[in-house]
Amino acid sequence: MSYVIDSTPLPRWQTITGTVLSGLIVVFLIFDGAIKLVPIAPVTDTLTALGYSGDPVLARALGVITLACAVLYAIPRTSVLGAILLTGLLGGAIATHLRVGSPVFSHLLFGVYLGLMAWGGLYLRYEAVRRMIPFKL
């Protein structure tokens, strides 16, 4: 199966906005994954506060998963797969914050914000994503 990209040129604002949103997601995921690889004390302390083991092995595993999502999302041919896997990862984070009673707008919904940015970036850049998720106005 060949990879087909719609040849219809997009408005400049749409390309720029989609690229910026996707770029912000990639930068955030790389940062988040990297600090979990080290792992620094705030990472293990946060894991413990969220009810998980503060074991550095767990933090590193989460870091590897996060970086894998970032790489898949950053590569145009695998960006939709990266977004799907990222959505699962964010769902787990949302469930964790819901379980521990985190503040709604700053912690609980942060995963929703990131998911909207990730899918919004793809939506603006790729016709195939717009066809998968049609919005009728």
pLDDT band at 72 (very low <50, low <70, confident <90, very high): very high
Q: Which sign does the torsion angle of CA 135, 108, 50, 100 carry?
A: negative
pLDDT band at 2 (very low <50, low <70, confident <90, very high): very low
Share of the chain above pLDDT 90, in %: 89
- Which bin fits 136, alpha (ψ -120 to 50), beta or left (φ > 0)? beta
Position 137 scores a pLDDT of: 65
Residue 45: φ, ψ to 5°: -65, -40
pLDDT tens-digit series, residues 35-46:
999 989 999 999
How many degrees, rounded to 5, is the angle at CA 64 between CA 60 and CA 65? 115
What rounded mean pLDDT belongs to the chain? 93
pLDDT band at 128 (very low <50, low <70, confident <90, very high): very high
pLDDT band at 7 (very low <50, low <70, confident <90, very high): low
pLDDT band at 10 (very low <50, low <70, confident <90, very high): confident
Are the beta carbons of 94 and 105 closer than 8 angstroms? no
Residue ranges of domains in the chain: 12-125
CA distance 79 to 29: 14
Average pLDDT over residues 62-84: 98
Average pLDDT over residues 72-88: 98
Q: 93-106 in b/e burial notation, b at 16+ Cβ within 10 A?
A: bbebbeeeebeeee
Position 76 scores a pLDDT of: 96
Contacts of 6-14 with CB under 8 Å at 24 or more apart are 6/126, 6/127, 6/128, 8/127, 10/124, 10/125, 14/124, 14/125
Whole-prediction pTM: 0.88
Structure tokens at 101: 């009673």
